[in-house]
Amino acid sequence: MKDLIEKHLNLIGDLSSIQDIQPISGGDINEAYFVQTKNEQYFVKYNRHVPSDFFQKEADGLEKIRETNTISVPKVYYVSHFGKNEGILILEWIEKGSKNEDVSKALAEGVANMHQSEGDYFGLEEDQYIGTLPQANGLYSDWISFYLEKRLKPQFILAEQKGRLNPLRRKNLIKLFDQLHKWLPKNCKPVLLHGDLWGGNWISSKIGRPYLIDPAAFYGHYEFELAFTELFGGFSRRFFQTYQEILPLSKEYEERKELYQLYYLLVHLNLFGETYGQAVDRVLHRYIGIS
């Protein structure tokens, strides 16, 4: 691995030899390494079995967020796909610090400001990935249509293919799809979202600066992103208070929140199986009852 990483570092002009390389735990998709050369410290992701654009999509998402000038992301030094299914992504190394209340406040300010970076359409021109699953996009003028056609339905189809829809769950999802317009906003603006903002996808630097990592960025309704931050935790009360001081949530947010969380629950159902089935069913029960 050292020789492989050194070879790619040479391609970006760092010709010094690697002085230290350490595997980093925490990721469940890629191999990850801290790399120290004479010139620089790097965070390196490597995978032997990824699609030919997997890391490029991550790099593109980081660049989209960087361009908003609202919140920090690691610098992308290099991305390459090679061999049969191999890929490597070389990023700036961020020395981690405490996720204290001041950092949570700064994170909220950055995310809220990012959520005011408007686009012309909902979605994105190119498809990408959510975790290891394909995530389809496209450009839509209507948020409800985008959420149904490019978020919920693809996960429904995949769950059906994987045998993770019992007859009642399948029936209730179809029923929910037909009634989606009852709960979702018809006139919201498309703004840039991180797209996969759970507690593990932000870090604090040693000097107390929040960074977003591992995006699946696209343009959508900002409340969709906030709903996901509430699903698995990792965000303090200070984060939510500060966020709403800058970008208040609508009075309908609590009513539609679980409907937005449904997408990520379906993703987890497809990735990890029936462990998430009951959570999907609870959301269906809330919105349409049990048929």
pLDDT of residue 26: 66
Helix (H, G, I), strand (E, B) or coil at 211: strand
- The tens digit of pLDDT for each residue in 42-60 reads 999 999 999 999 999 999 9
User: In the predicted model, what is the mean pLDDT of the chain?
Assistant: 95
The pLDDT confidence band at residue 286, using thresholds 50, 70 and 90, is: very high
CATH class of the domain at 2-92: alpha beta
Check if CATH label 3.40.50.2300 holds for domain 101-288: no
Instruction: List the structure tokens of 21.
Output: 């390389």
What are the structural domain ranges in the chain?
2-92, 101-288
The pLDDT confidence band at residue 290, using thresholds 50, 70 and 90, is: low
210: Cβ–Cβ under 8 A, 6 or more apart, which residues? 71, 72, 103, 104, 106, 107, 110, 202, 203, 204
pTM of the model: 0.96
Say what the alpha-carbon torsion angle 31, 37, 39, 40 is, to the nearest 10 degrees.
Answer: 30
224: Cβ–Cβ under 8 A, 6 or more apart, which residues? 147, 193, 260, 263
13: Cβ–Cβ under 8 A, 6 or more apart, which residues? none
pLDDT at 81 over 90: yes
pLDDT of residue 14: 85
d(CA 233, CA 222): 18
Give all strands (DSSP E) within 63-181, no chain letters.
76-82, 86-92, 122-124, 128-130, 133-135, 138-140
In eight-state DSSP terms, residue 257 is H
d(CA 141, CA 6): 46
- The tens digit of pLDDT for each residue in 95-136 reads 999 999 999 999 999 999 999 999 999 999 999 999 999 999
Give percent of the chain with pLDDT exceeding 70: 99
Residues involved in catalysis: 196
